[in-house]
Amino acid sequence: MAHYVDKDTGATAWTWYDGAWHDEPVKVMDAIGPGSWLASSVFDGARYFDGVAPDLDLHCRRVVDSAAQFGLKAIKSAEEIAALAWEGIERYAPDRSLYIRPMFFAGSGFLIPDPDGTEFALVLEVMEIPEPTGFSACLTRFRRPTPETALTEAKAGALYPNVARCLAEALDKGFDNAVVLDGNGNVAEFATANLFLVRDGVAVTPVANGTFLAGITRSRVMALLREAGVGVEERRVTFEEVRAADEVFSTGNYGKVLPCTRVEDRDMQPGPVYRQARELYFDWARRQPSPLRPAA
């Protein structure tokens, strides 16, 4: 079978849409439907690597939940999405690393999406997990919206222009990522991932307050650290604490667990709690039965 190859990234992708798999880019939205001009869409991201797809079931459930929050109808169940994901995985060599992206979007409706017009697509794209070489971060002037102003607890496409401008500001300043505050001036997350700091051997992450997605990988890492006897706190975090921390690292689906090695003008090294978190996560992932994988 031929694979679509992106001319810029060299990535390959398979897309499931309208009952079939496609090995070329698929146009799934028209100019009339609100999915295109009103960004009425939700998605999620999962990973496949080393023969496993950790927490695939939770990612599939979250996109179903996001659809409900957006007023869309989940025309595929979490179990159906996971089964399709495994169909797509089988189209690749076992050693490929994949990004798995299910999405629901509005095909009809004016301003308010018509639930009965909801459509579904699933993309599996070759995407390596980045090496943990370390990234830099600065504070952005832009902030996360509140639950009263946006659908902050859905993984909604409409939220990502704000992510993009946070990241663009950081890149323009010469940094790799941005620390984003909430409306009250407390740390929410990195622009593209959840944030942890370490002080005196205790891992600290901003308490989930509805302004950011408390990620699936974040929750998994917290549980694994606690099981290993590492102190973990969810609480209010200030940017001054991030700047003064012994360690800073991120969790998220794209990179899983990655070290931050510079905050503003302060350099730091990957520390023991970060290293333990990363090792615990990948050890856990590689020994887990793959969730919702159809029996051979």
SS (H, E, C) 3-24: CEECCCCCCEEEEEECCEEECC
pLDDT of 24 reads 87
Q: What is the pLDDT of residues 230-241, one digit of tens each?
A: 999 999 999 999
Determine contact, residues 30/141, Cβ cutoff 8 Å: no
- pTM for this prediction: 0.94
Band of residue 5 on the pLDDT scale cut at 50, 70, 90: low
pLDDT at 119 over 60: yes
Q: How confident is the model at residue 8 (pLDDT cuts 50, 70, 90)?
A: low
Give all strands (DSSP E) within the chain, no chain letters: 4-5, 12-17, 20-22, 41-43, 46-48, 98-106, 109-110, 112-113, 118-126, 135-143, 177-181, 187-190, 194-199, 202-206, 232-235, 247-252, 256-263, 266-267
Domains and CATH numbers, the chain: 4-126 (3.30.470.10), 135-285 (3.20.10.10)
At residue 7, the pLDDT reads 59
Contact call for residues 177 and 192 (beta carbons, < 8 A):
yes
Taking only the tens place, the pLDDT of each residue in 176-224 is: 999 999 999 999 999 999 999 999 999 999 999 999 999 999 999 999 9
Q: Which residue has the tokens 């609100």?
A: 34
- Residue 207 per-residue DSSP state: P
Q: Which amino acid is at 109?
A: G
Question: Using 50, 70 and 90 to split pLDDT, how confident is the model at 78?
Answer: very high
Write out pLDDT tens, residues 247-271.
999 999 999 999 999 999 999 999 9
Q: Do 139 and 179 contact (CB within 8 A), yes or no?
A: yes
Average pLDDT over residues 22-38: 91
Query: What pLDDT score does 288 carry?
Result: 78
- The model's pLDDT over 141-152, given as tens digits with 9 standing for 90+, comes to 999 999 999 999
Residue 233: strand, helix, or coil: strand
Cα dist from 151 to 42, 60, 69, 109, 145, whole Å: 10, 18, 8, 18, 9
User: Span 47-68, mean pLDDT?
Assistant: 96
Token look-up 């919206």 returns: 145
Residue at token pair 């990241």? 167
β-pairing verdict for 187-190 and 177-181? antiparallel
